[in-house]
Amino acid sequence: MNDHTDDKASRDNTAPATRDTETIPPPPSAVGEVFGDRADLAIRYVDFLATAGLERGLMGPRERPRLWDRHVLNSAAAKSHIFDGESVVDIGSGAGLPGIPLSLARPDLEITLVEPLLRRVNFLEEIIESLGIDVRVVRGRAEEKTVITEVGNADVVTSRAVAPLAKLAGWSAPLLRIGGRMVALKGSSATEEVDRDSAALSRLGFTDVHVEIVSAPDAEETRLVIATLGSRMGGRGSRSRGSGKRRG
């Protein structure tokens, strides 16, 4: 699985450094609006990314000033297209984006982070334990049978800057229930990717493929590629269909 460009780990030291206002970006006023009574946890999460995350190579140095607007608030904006109480699998989670911001903004969601590299998994588990949030981490690649067995039948599979859309859809489809949705955070080329890969998504059983632009206050816009799994390829190339429960 291809990885996030700036969001992967390296080293085995744990606790974040003491908060240093010169190196950690100050929380914008929107933090309380987006995260509510979990705003303090979101601030601690950014502290992790700006200190231990930078030291271990999960975040590039140039990303430190943009952690809030480009990464954390940007990720949390996807919450507007996830229904109450849904199970969400974040594939190629890296530094926990978008899964951890979604969990902080929407504690009703059942979040699982899927990440193949051990040191990144350790980092995620440290953050989750420190923040005291109910998020599961599964080590592996989304396409592995063991991961599909463990986290499959999800309502939503999400990701952020993991791979080209067709490949990402191929990893997402086996993890979704029929009627579940891929909600992929993409860059400015989202519409072009949908146009380019629409036939591949259709072959995988995805329908209603479209782009939504969402935003959180004090954050960059987020482009979501949303697609519903209407059917999946069954044995011998046949289509299998289902009527998975729809929420909303």
Q: In what order do the strands lie in the sheet with 87-91?
A: 135-139, 110-115, 87-91, 154-160, 176-186, 222-229, 206-214
Q: Rounded CA gap, 15 and 169, in Å? A: 35
- 246 located within any domain: no
Host domain of residue 122: 30-241
123 has a pLDDT exceeding 70: yes
Q: How many domains does the chain have?
A: 1
- 14 located within any domain: no
41 annotated as belonging to a binding site for a ligand: no
- 18 located within any domain: no
- Give the pLDDT mean for 174-181: 98
Among residues 158, 237, 162, the alpha carbon closest in space to that of 205 is found at: 237
226 has a pLDDT exceeding 90: yes
pLDDT at 12: 36
234 has a pLDDT exceeding 90: no
- 226 located within any domain: yes
139 annotated as belonging to a binding site for a ligand: no
- 117 located within any domain: yes
pLDDT per position as a tens digit, 5-60: 333 333 334 444 444 545 788 999 999 999 999 999 999 999 999 999 988 888 88
Percent of the chain with pLDDT over 70: 85
Give the range among 93-102, 159-168, 185-194, 238-247 with minimum mean pLDDT.
Answer: 238-247
143 annotated as belonging to a binding site for a ligand: yes
pLDDT at 220: 86
Among residues 11, 165, 4, 220, the alpha carbon closest in space to that of 93 is found at: 4
Q: Rounded CA gap, 130 and 134, in Å? A: 11
113 annotated as belonging to a binding site for a ligand: no
Give 15's contacts (C-beta < 8 A, 6+ positions apart): 52, 126, 130
- 201 located within any domain: yes
- Give the pLDDT mean for 185-210: 96
Give the pLDDT band (50/70/90) at residue 113: very high
- 12 located within any domain: no
pLDDT per position as a tens digit, 181-195: 999 999 999 999 999
- 233 located within any domain: yes
pLDDT at 61: 86
Phi, psi of 159 (to 5 degrees): -170, 165
216 annotated as belonging to a binding site for a ligand: no
Give 164's contacts (C-beta < 8 A, 6+ positions apart): 193, 197
Q: What is the pTM of this model?
A: 0.85
CATH assignment of the domain containing 113:
3.40.50.150
